[in-house]
């Protein structure tokens, strides 16, 4: 690759190559379940958020699905609320998962294709098997890297400590 040199190329060729690269990265990184646990990133984020919210199978009651969806959207998965809710519904359906990871209360759809109720009408907590999966989370058995929420606050902290901002604040 010639760095610093301008290369002539057809825009249609570049667009098709770039789109294909992007599409493959999306399929590999987000759309296909991980072979290790069969979960997509959105599923992991839902389970992690529920774990941190204390929605354990034993010792906690169910909470509104909308609250869990809001927590996931706000901290871990900045996409549409229905994408997160649909993923959570799938985790609760006994006909979609061999072992449901979310214990749902309310209408979570049917095998006949009936849609689930709106998130304001359903409640969730972790299923017993999900609690067992997440039991040793605090022992750092899995590598975590910051999500957009944590990165944003790290960036804000860095900006607040920067020299140019301090000078700017003294001018005001």
Catalytic residues: 121
CB 127 within 8 A of CB 104: no
Residue 68: closest CA among 142, 119, 7: 119
H or E segment to which residue 45 belongs: helix 41-52
Residue 44: closest CA among 55, 54, 33: 33
DSSP codes of every residue in 21-42: HHHHHHIIIIISPPTTTS--HH
- Three-state SS string across 106-163, please? CCCCCCCCCCCCCCCCCEEEECHHHHHHHCCHHHCCCCCCCCHHHHHHHHHHHHHHCH
- Report helix, strand or coil for 98: coil
């Amino acid at each position: 690759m010639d760095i610093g040199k301008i290369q002539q190329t057809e825009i249609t060729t570049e667009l098709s190559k770039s789109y294909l690269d992007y599409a493959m990265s999306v399929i590999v990184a987000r759309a296909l379940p991980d072979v290790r646990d069969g979960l997509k990133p959105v599923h992991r984020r839902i389970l992690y958020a529920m774990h941190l919210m204390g929605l354990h199978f034993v010792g906690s009651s169910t909470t509104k699905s909308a609250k869990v969806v809001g927590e996931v959207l706000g901290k871990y998965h900045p996409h549409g609320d229905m994408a997160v809710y649909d993923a959570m519904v799938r985790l609760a359906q006994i006909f979609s998962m061999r072992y449901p990871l979310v214990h749902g209360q309310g209408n979570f759809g049917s095998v006949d294709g009936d849609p689930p109720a709106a998130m304001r009408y359903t409640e969730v907590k972790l299923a017993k098997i999900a609690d067992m999966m997440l039991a040793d989370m605090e022992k750092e058995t899995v590598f975590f890297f910051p999500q957009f929420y944590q990165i944003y606050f790290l960036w804000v902290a860095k900006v607040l400590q920067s020299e140019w901002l301090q000078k700017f604040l003294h001018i005001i």
